[in-house]
Amino acid sequence: MADDVLAARRVEASSIVNTYMGWSAGASFIPLPFADLAAVTLVQIKMVADLAKLYEVPFSRNVVKTIIGGLLGSLVPAGLARGASSLIKAIPGVGTVLGVLAAPVFTTASTYAVGKVFIQHFEAGGNVLNFDPEAMREHFKAEFEEGVSKASTSTKAAA
């Protein structure tokens, strides 16, 4: 494939990830505990479906859902914080405010990381069926940290 086609595909892939980061942030504002996490997972699955279409690879919703769960499981401390930011919404009054403030950073960072690892995998000729979450854990963690930085920067810019 020509370099200009690859470059155009990368730009489109980044645009897809950025779009779904916004959707994830929005989903994190759902005030119901764990409904926000379910919505973010659906957003991430849809993002991977769009990336798979872009890279012309087969897509399986159930396989991707399992992969995303495995990747997020590699972020145990951050994953606990993500779950805690959802659960804290159950505390009347202040819980909703605290949960809503913490959740967008975690959800946008995880969406960014999921998108980036799938882009790398698809560009290397992989598909969802041969994706190895264990082999991608360290890369996923690094992308998550980059996503936290991006989410924190955009949150400060919006304030």
Domain residue limits at 67: 3-154
Question: Which pLDDT belongs to residue 1?
Answer: 62
| 140-145, long-range: CB < 8 A, 24+ apart | 140/71, 140/74, 140/75, 140/113, 140/114, 141/74, 141/75, 141/113, 143/112, 143/113, 143/116, 143/117, 144/75, 144/78, 144/109, 144/110, 144/112, 144/113, 145/109
pLDDT digits (tens, 9 = 90+) for 68-110: 988 988 775 544 444 445 554 454 544 444 444 567 788 899 9
Question: What global pTM score does this model have?
Answer: 0.81
Q: Which amino acid is at 125?
A: G
Residue with the larger pLDDT of the pair 99 and 36: 36
pLDDT at position 6 over 90 = no
Domain presence at residue 159: no
Sequence-distant (≥ 6) Cβ neighbours of residue 154 within 8 angstroms: 108
* Residue bearing tokens 């996490």: 37
Domain presence at residue 45: yes
Q: Which of 16-20, 47-51, 104-108 has the lowest mean pLDDT?
A: 104-108
Residue 16 burial by Cβ neighbours in a 10 Å radius (0-12, 13-18, 19+): buried
Considering its fold, how many domains does the chain have in total? 1
Count of Cβ atoms closer than 10 Å to residue 151 Cβ: 22
What whole-number distance in Å separates Cα of residue 144 and Cα of residue 89?
23
Q: Which of 9-23, 27-41, 92-106, 114-128 has the lowest mean pLDDT?
A: 92-106
pLDDT digits (tens, 9 = 90+) for 111-157: 999 999 999 999 999 999 999 988 999 999 999 999 988 887 765 44
